[in-house]
Amino acid sequence: MKNLFLLFSCIFLLISCDQNNKEEEKIRYTQDSEQINTFKTVLQNYENGEWDEYKSHFADSVELFYNSRESIDVSAAVAMHKQNNSALSSYDFVDSENEFEMVVTDAGETWVNFWGEWEGTIAENDSMIVIPVHITARFEDGKIVKEYLYFNNAGMNDALRMLEESRSMQDSIE
């Protein structure tokens, strides 16, 4: 009887230890997290031109790499976004095409990955531009500390070049 009690006690102890270990395991991959929700807000701030709110999600020492190996700060990024979007009547990310995930690396770093389509309309001629985008952002203490943005801007450049050619042609006709 004593051995049976000891056996059940050992089994109970092993099960409870295993349960505690499972509760202590950190989620390494998810598509629903506080960081993802923050990142969705960053995208909404961008779409709405809410630049002060946009900047508030980034750490003061953030490093932003936009199709480059050279980093810029968040004020330079805002200036770039404003410049790139100045010829547009509208722009946004196509919600139905957006995918988000959060991963925690072996080193304990928290990254949010985003894949989506950016869509813009040139104000002067209503031509539509669609650009696939990938963004990956590292979070610490609820703020973005590093971000990589990759996109192929050829569609935008071609549309603006064609617009300029159209203007030149119109000027030569007049």
What amino acid occupies position 5?
F
Which residues constitute the domain of residue 124?
A: 27-169
Q: Tell me which amino acid residue 148 is.
A: Y
pLDDT band per the 50, 70, 90 thresholds, residue 125:
confident
In a domain, residue 74? The reply is yes
User: Is 13 within the bounds of a domain?
Assistant: no
Query: Is residue 119 predicted with pLDDT exceeding 60?
Result: yes
Instruction: Look up the pTM and report it.
Output: 0.79
5: pLDDT confidence band, cut at 50, 70 and 90? low
CATH of residue 137's domain is 3.10.450.50
- Residue 11 within any structural domain of the chain: no
The number of distinct structural domains making up the chain is 1
Q: Out of 8-22, 34-48, 58-72, 119-133, pick the least confident.
A: 8-22
